[in-house]
Amino acid sequence: MTSANKSWGGRFSEATDEFVQQFTASVDFDQRLAAFDIEGSIAHATMLERIGVLNEKECKAIVDGLSDIREQIARGDFHWAVQLEDVHMNVEARLTDRIGDAGKKLHTGRSRNDQVATDVRLYLRAEIDVISAELIRLQTALIDLAEREADAIMPGFTHLQVAQPITFGHHMLAWNEMLARDRERLADCRKRVNVMPLGAAALAGTSYPLDREFTAQLLGFARPCANSLDAVSDRDFAIEFGACASLIMMHLSRFSEELILWTSAQFGFIDLPDAFCTGSSIMPQKKNPDVPELVRGKSGRVFGHLFALLTLMKGQPLAYNKDNQEDKEPLFDTVDTLKGCLRAFADMMPHVKPRRSVMLEAAKQGFATATDLADYLVRQGVPFRDAHEIVGKAVRIGVETRRDLAELTLEELQALSSSIGDDVYSVLTLEGSVAARDVLGGTAPKRVREAAAKARQSLQD
What CATH number is associated with residue 94?
1.10.275.10
Is 80 exceeded by the pLDDT of residue 142? Answer: yes
174/306 same-domain check = yes
Is 50 exceeded by the pLDDT of residue 133? Answer: yes
pLDDT at 326: 93
Residue 184 lies in a domain: yes
pLDDT digits (tens, 9 = 90+) for 416-453: 999 999 999 888 889 989 998 999 999 999 999 999 99
pLDDT at 308: 97
Of 360, 385, 401, which residue sits at a domain end? 360
299/402 same-domain check = no
Is 80 exceeded by the pLDDT of residue 286? Answer: no
Residue 443 lies in a domain: no
Mean pLDDT of the region 245-259 = 98
pLDDT at 6: 55
| Cα 349 → chain centroid | 16
374/343 same-domain check = no
Burial-class residue 60 by CB neighbours within 10 Å (0-12, 13-18, 19+).
middle
Residue 436 lies in a domain: no
149/259 same-domain check = yes
Q: Are 427 and 372 in contact (CB under 8 A)?
A: yes
Mean pLDDT of the region 11-37 = 80
Residue 340 lies in a domain: yes
Residue 83 lies in a domain: yes
Is 70 exceeded by the pLDDT of residue 5? Answer: no
Residue 458 identity (one-letter amino acid): S
pLDDT at 268: 96
247-258: string of b/e by CB count within 10 Å (b at 16+)? bbbebbbebbeb
Secondary structure tally for the chain: helices H, strands E: 20, 6
161/83 same-domain check = no
Maximum Cα interatomic distance, the chain, rounded to a whole number of Å:
101
pLDDT at 87: 95
pLDDT band at 283 (very low <50, low <70, confident <90, very high): confident
Is 50 exceeded by the pLDDT of residue 412? Answer: yes
Residue 180 lies in a domain: yes
Residues carrying an active site annotation: 159, 280
Is 90 exceeded by the pLDDT of residue 21? Answer: no
Q: Are 158 and 366 in contact (CB under 8 A)?
A: no
Determine which helix (DSSP H) or strand (DSSP E) holds 284, and give its type and residue range: none
| Cα 172 → chain centroid | 18
Is 80 exceeded by the pLDDT of residue 111? Answer: yes
Residue 275 lies in a domain: yes
- Indicate the range of 64-68, 130-134, 294-298, 362-366 predicted with least confidence: 362-366
pLDDT at 7: 58
310/191 same-domain check = yes
186: which strand partners? none
d(CA 125, CA 213): 18
268/167 same-domain check = yes
d(CA 304, CA 308): 6
CATH number at residue 393: 1.10.40.30
pTM of the model: 0.91
63/83 same-domain check = yes
d(CA 344, CA 443): 28
d(CA 25, CA 85): 4
Of 323, 342, 360, which residue sits at a domain end? 360
Residue 51 lies in a domain: yes
CATH number at residue 255: 1.20.200.10
How many domains does the chain contain in total? 3
Mean pLDDT of the region 171-187 = 98
Of 68, 85, 108, which residue sits at a domain end? 108
d(CA 40, CA 91): 12
264/179 same-domain check = yes
295/420 same-domain check = no
pLDDT band at 1 (very low <50, low <70, confident <90, very high): very low
Q: What is the span of the domain harbouring residue 74?
A: 9-108
pLDDT at 2: 46
d(CA 416, CA 436): 23
d(CA 403, CA 369): 13
Nearest partner of 135 among 171, 185, 189, 194, judged by Cα: 185
pLDDT band at 42 (very low <50, low <70, confident <90, very high): very high
Residue 17 identity (one-letter amino acid): D
102/117 same-domain check = no
- Mean pLDDT is highest, among 73-87, 136-150, 365-379, for 136-150
pLDDT digits (tens, 9 = 90+) for 25-38: 888 889 999 999 99
Burial-class residue 40 by CB neighbours within 10 Å (0-12, 13-18, 19+).
buried
121/258 same-domain check = yes
d(CA 212, CA 51): 11
Measured in degrees and rounded to the nearest 5, phi and psi for residue 80 equal -95, 125
